[in-house]
Copies of this chain bind each other. A is one copy, B any other.
Amino acid sequence: MTDPRMIRAKSGTNHEGTSAHNRRVMIDALRVNGALSRADLARATRLTKQTVSNIIEELERDGLVVPQATVRKGRGQPSTPYALVPTGAFAIGLQIDRYVTRAVAVDLMGTQLARAEADLPAGGPANGIMVVLELIAGVRGELAKVAAESEKRLVGLGVAMPGPFDVEGADNDQWMMEAWQKFPLLETLAARTGLNVGLQNDAAACATAERMVGAAHGLDNVVCLYLGYGIGAGLILNSELYSGASGNAGEIGMALLSAGDPKRTALEHRASLASLYLHLGIDPAAQGVHDEIGRLAAEDNPRLREWVSEAAGNLRWAVHLVETIFDPQTVIVCGGAPEALARRLLAAMEPLLPSIADRPGRSLPRLTLGMTDPWSVALGAAAEPIGRAFDPRFCAIMK
């Protein structure tokens, strides 16, 4: 007898799947384009006016869209644009980093409505899980105060933490995170919060954030270079976050800088905040580190300038590499570096190396500065459940 678990197949779909897909397509269209009339939506989605009307009616009943003032535009009956209601859905994002954890609550549009951070005690999840749970509960409570229906409309909890996940012989400075990764975090959080829980690495979270509210909004193929304690790439390919066979795609920081180098130097040893801290002799666990390096960057500190120069050289190569491999619409630099530092890095990276991205008729710059905000990872973590709930490509068609 054929073991049914051995049969590999994709899922079929039915009318509900069709309907869910169409709803998501419409929500996505409204998110990307802003308010649209039913007629516009019908043209854009290639559905009939009637179908669009039905779905809009349902979305309005569900409190996800509202009609705007009618618009006269030439001949014909004026149209009534519909806009997404920001308070139509909420999500909570949680970042677990090496020394700190952050939680934010966002609405459907990605606006932050509440947030809080806490230091993570040493010793991994055994000591930290309570801190995390309290942080989430606090933000959730704040959200409930600001938005009446938030509990009913919470679509999930997104978690972001540094990768890689489930790898043998990970880097030494990862030992803190390793304990977290062995811990049944998702199960615990799901059980204790009652929410759907999803996980991404920090670079992926940043890309998710950029896609929802940042430089990648409305783009389909983007690579986000996330400069944090390490360096990772968040990959948006065909409008979808790509996470690889085991969730570790984009760990570009572990890429060796050259084929021949016997010392096997990885990119993040030369271009990451960790390498900057090392270069400057700063303790990354100390309070106010972020502001400190922001100040150094603003005043163009010579030691920092040295690092920028070398890091920029390596990042220039990293950009060349991802352009060559992914052929994205643009590359976005984002992450936990202070904006002054990020701007210096971007400036130092020019001119970029030649690559296939030098093509005629580009409309976007090859390199874009994205969010430089310590909260962007938590924001992206929060964006993940919203994307999951409302993104038409998220396997929406399957049952």
Interface residues of A (CB under 8 A from B): 1-2, 4, 7-15, 17-18, 21-22, 25-26, 28-29, 32-33, 36-37, 40-41, 43-47, 51, 73-74, 164, 166-169, 218, 220-221, 233, 237-240, 242-252, 254-261, 264, 267, 270, 313-314, 316-318, 320-322, 324-329, 353-356, 358-360, 392-393, 397, 399
Residue of B nearest to A327 (CB): B244
Query: Is the Cβ of A44 less than 8 Å from the Cβ of B168?
Result: no
Q: Is the CB of A355 within 8 A of B254?
A: yes
Asked if B256 and A44 make an inter-chain contact with CB atoms under 8 angstroms apart, the answer reads no
Pairwise interchain contact B255-A324, C-beta atoms closer than 8 A? yes
Q: Is the CB of B259 within 8 A of A313?
A: yes
Instruction: Write the chain B residue with the least CB distance to A360.
Output: B168
Q: How far is the CA of A394 from the CA of B314 in the complex (A)?
A: 37
Is the contact region of chain A dominated by helix, strand, or loop, or is it mixed? loop
Say whether B10 contacts A29, CB under 8 Å. Answer: yes
Q: Contact at A360–B166, with CB atoms within 8 Å? A: yes
Give Cα A379–Cα B71 distance, bound, in whole angstroms. 55
- Bound together, the chains give a CA A399 to CA B397 distance in angstroms of 13
Q: Shortest Cβ distance from A166 into chain B, in angstroms?
A: 6
What 15 new A-B contacts, CB under 8 Å, besides A15-B15, A251-B325? A8-B218, A9-B29, A9-B41, A10-B239, A11-B25, A12-B26, A12-B46, A13-B18, A233-B325, A247-B327, A248-B356, A251-B356, A255-B320, A256-B317, A258-B261
From B250, B260, B314, contact of A325 by CB (8 A): B250
4 A-B pairs with least C-beta separation: A244-B327, A258-B258, A259-B317, A9-B29
Other-chain contact of A44, B1, B4, B237, B355 (Cβ < 8 Å): B4
Distance (whole angstroms) from the CB of A185 to the closest CB of chain B = 18
B327 x A246 contact (CB < 8 A):
yes
**A108: shortest Cβ distance to chain B, in Å?**
17
Check B168 against A359 for contact (C-beta < 8 Å).
Answer: yes
* Residues of chain B contacted by A36 (CB below 8 angstroms): 2, 7
Q: How far is the CA of A267 from the CA of B231 in the complex (A)?
A: 23
Q: Are B249 and A353 in contact (CB under 8 A)?
A: no
Checking B47, B221, B239 against A244 with a beta-carbon cut-off of 8 angstroms, the contacting residue is: B221
- Whole-angstrom distance between the alpha carbons of A33 and B28 in the complex? 35
List, in ascending order, chain B residues with CB within 8 A of A261's CB.
Answer: 258
In contact, B28 and A397 (Cβ under 8 angstroms)? no
Say yes or no: A314 contacts B359, CB within 8 Å: no
Complex-state Cα separation, A28 to B398, whole angstroms: 15
A306 nearest CB across to chain B (Å): 15
Question: Across the interface, do A51 and B12 meet the contact criterion of CB distance under 8 Å?
Answer: yes
A244 to B221 alpha-carbon distance, docked (Å): 7
Q: Select the residue from A14, A243, A245, A252 with max chain B CB neighbours within 10 A.
A: A245
